[in-house]
Structure 1
Amino acid sequence: MAAEKHLVVGLMSGTSVDAVDAALIETDGEGHVRPLSFAERPWTDAERALIRRAAAHALTLPRPGPDPLIAEAEHVLTLAHAEAVALLPGGDSASLIGFHGQTVAHRPPSSGHPAPFTWQIGDADLLARLTGRMVAHDFRSADVAAGGEGAPLAPGYHRALSSGLSRPMGVLNLGGVGNLTWFSDTGWGAFDTGPGNGLIDDWAARHGRGHYDADGAMAAAGRVHEALVARMAATGYFEAIGPKSLDRGDFSIAHVEGLSAEDGAATLTAFTAETIRLALARLPVRLGRLLVTGGGRRNPVLMRMMAGRCGIPVEPVEAHGWRGDAMEAEAFAWLAVRVLKGLPISWPETTGVGRPMTGGRISRP
């Protein structure tokens, strides 16, 4: 008997804090996926600043808990997610929403934190009332409680999408943090690779160039300081074999302070490319190609640097008919159906948890 299919909305706001992404798909939470529509609800400058203040503050706290600044950010964030649902063409046909919320702190087992936790803010009960839909949420905490990293969670969706593609290959998501899902003929795995676009975005903002290096223009005009790239890459994180994960705040632009705006951008872009090379070097198999999703695929300088350093074809996921802007939101729509059905949403190969883990909770209107 064919698995029941659902129309479901997925929502995602990544650590780049550029927009709330909303995607509508039809899926059974297994191998059937039919993308239908996509919408973005951009963050205002004031909202973005509030969320980043909340995230910086959360990293100073020993554990998740009540806090006025966090509560303010959570309320603003939830209202924005409800607006994203309203913007989504056909979104009113869905009976279920996958609501990731906003990660404000991530202290997994690999961080060495004495009491590992992951913290995503977002009021799922309020979102359920505002939209009149069931809301699947809290996707990560059960995995961390069971000894897993709690991230990345998109790999199961990558596996569903890529089942017909030749292996070995990888899917690289470049948001504020980078994460890689790899597939061979006999196995698979996933882990966070490093800072993704996060440091480049911070550097562009520091120099008044907007929220990111548009088209890699700053990096293209600069010179890479390879000694600084090597110094930034000389940390234990890049030596460790996955599964492993990190927080966007685990790396900073301190190493390139004092460089020109252009040289700093070029060096940070090369550092991200180098972290991908190091990630591929830790795999048990050499990949034949790398498909890139997330905002980083729009940076031609970063894409060229990755291809040059890694020595394999590096392509945006659109080359295979996928929607790079929508993939993370689609992933949480797919995961929402699995939460509803009580199916695993993380695996030993992807988060290091001891067994395939169910997780998430359902809020009802």
Structure 2
Amino acid sequence: MPDLFIGLMSGTSVDSIDAVLVDFGDEEKITPHILAALAHPIHARLRESILGLCAPGPSELDRAGQLDRQLGQIFAEATNTLLARAGVKGDSITAIGSHGQTVRHRPPGTVTSPFTLQLGDPNTISALTGICTVADFRRRDIALGGQGAPLMPAFHQAAFRTDRSRAVVNIGGMANITELTASGQVYGYDTGPGNALLDYWVDLHRNQPYDRDGAWGASGRAIPELLNRLLSAPYFAAEPPKSTGRETFNPSWLEQACIGLELAPADVQATLAEVTAASIAEAVRAFADGGELLTCGGGAKNKDLIARLQRRLPTWSITDTGTYGIDADWLEAVGFAWLARQTLRGLPGNCPGVTGAQKEAVLGAIYPP
């Protein structure tokens, strides 16, 4: 019997809304089948508004309130477009799981009262689609003393658990690792920047939204002094649980590190790719000496980045999650569909060993149609 959910995801890259229609079936072992998927565009003005709220500025409350509604509308638009393309009626969908758009993430250790804020009004999504919507997944974990991120490890365990060491690395705007032990324990954390600064730099110098296949980065050479400056950021040395975002790894951080150096733009791109590869590889090596590494997210398509990662991890077999049945482009959106399913079933969606929360918890709030 079909068990249909929709997952909506917009990450720190702010390049599009990933929307997936998923059939989980009725099996206990999670084997999600993606029936339809699309990358719904975020127009330039809306993207500018999102990025503008990722750092402190004037009139934040008014801007956030309006953006919350605008994002709710575009998330609903993505959902309705997905259903139309799939030829599926909304009343056959159990629920939408919407991550929302993170505009500020201040986890424990960064401010006195930790918080995380995702915009994309679920009331609007529910009203415009007529589908039950589950959202606001991160704040329950924060309330329990956790980082509120990353949230995908519980889904990774459900989808990819095995009797040998396996790691899953999502390379989105930021990168995070899930460590699946042979004994069934789950660990993980954000490793640092993924694509966010790579995308920023190629857009700045070549007017391209991303470095296709990592070709531009591959044409440059990593600059040791800049690499050392970037990898000296305190976040990399911090012990998990930990999570991060544009609050830490942003253009200002990069520009500060470049002061006093004469750098060719392609060499900076190569260095940024090396920062991502080095920080991920360090996390993987700390987990195990060898095993399977599954990649997902936009960075999984960056051939230069994956080559740099493989050079640093010669004892690891690196492939993407599509090898195991879930397309790497859509894995995170599928994960939020799964989290909505967990919420409706009254089952936990976090991993305390990952986030540092006091206990497992049912995540998210439910917004009926």
Q: How high is the TM-score relative to the length of structure 2?
A: 0.91
Moved more, 266-275 or 77-86: 77-86
Q: 1:153 to 1:5 in 2, by over 3 A?
A: farther
* 1:197 positional shift: 0.7
Instruction: Please say if residues 29 and 337 of structure 1, whose CA atoms lie closer than 8 Å, have aligned partners that are also in contact.
Output: no
- Correspondence 1:20 to 2:14: no
Task: Kindly tell me the number of residue pairs found equivalent between the two proteins.
Answer: 354
* 1:56 positional shift: 2.5
Cα distance in 2 for partners of 1:282, 1:290 equals 13
Q: 1:225 to 1:66 in 2, by over 3 A?
A: closer
Cα distance in 2 for partners of 1:309, 1:230 equals 16
Cα distance in 2 for partners of 1:77, 1:266 equals 34
Instruction: Please say if residues 295 and 319 of structure 2, whose CA atoms lie closer than 8 Å, have aligned partners that are also in contact.
Output: yes
Of residues 134, 137, 157 in structure 2, which corresponds to 1:136?
Answer: 134
Of residues 66, 74, 79 in structure 2, which corresponds to 1:72?
Answer: 66
List alignment gaps of at least 5 residues for structure 1. none
Cα distance in 2 for partners of 1:289, 1:95 equals 34
* 1:6 positional shift: 2.8
Name the SS of the counterpart of 1:253 in structure 2: helix
Cα distance in 2 for partners of 1:249, 1:260 equals 26
Instruction: Please say if residues 12 and 21 of structure 1, whose CA atoms lie closer than 8 Å, have aligned partners that are also in contact.
Output: yes
Residues 88-237 of structure 1 aligned to structure 2 (within 5 Å): 88=82, 89=86, 90=88, 92=90, 93-109=92-108, 111-163=109-161, 165-186=162-183, 187-237=185-235
Stretches of 4+ aligned residues off by more than 4 angstroms? none
Query: Over aligned residue pairs, what C-alpha RMSD do you find?
Result: 2.0
- Correspondence 1:9 to 2:6: yes
Matched residue type, 2:237: E
Cα distance in 1 for partners of 2:9, 2:300 equals 18
Q: What is the percentage of aligned positions where both structures have the same residue?
A: 37
Name the SS of the counterpart of 1:289 in structure 2: strand
Instruction: Please say if residues 78 and 122 of structure 1, whose CA atoms lie closer than 8 Å, have aligned partners that are also in contact.
Output: yes
Cα distance in 2 for partners of 1:66, 1:136 equals 25
* 1:30 positional shift: 5.5
* 1:78 positional shift: 1.3
Q: How high is the TM-score relative to the length of structure 1?
A: 0.92
Moved more, 195-204 or 72-81: 72-81
Residues 277-322 of structure 1 show CA distances to partners (whole Å, capped at 9, x for unaligned) of: 2212332x33412111000011100000011112222222222232
Moved more, 23-32 or 351-360: 23-32
Q: 1:56 to 1:236 in 2, by over 3 A?
A: closer
Q: 1:32 to 1:91 in 2, by over 3 A?
A: farther
Name the SS of the counterpart of 1:25 in structure 2: strand
Matched residue type, 2:72: T
Residues 187-216 of structure 1 show CA distances to partners (whole Å, capped at 9, x for unaligned) of: 221110101111111111221331211211
Residue in structure 2 matched with residue 243 of structure 1 by the alignment: 241
Matched residue type, 2:51: R
List alignment gaps of at least 5 residues for structure 2. none
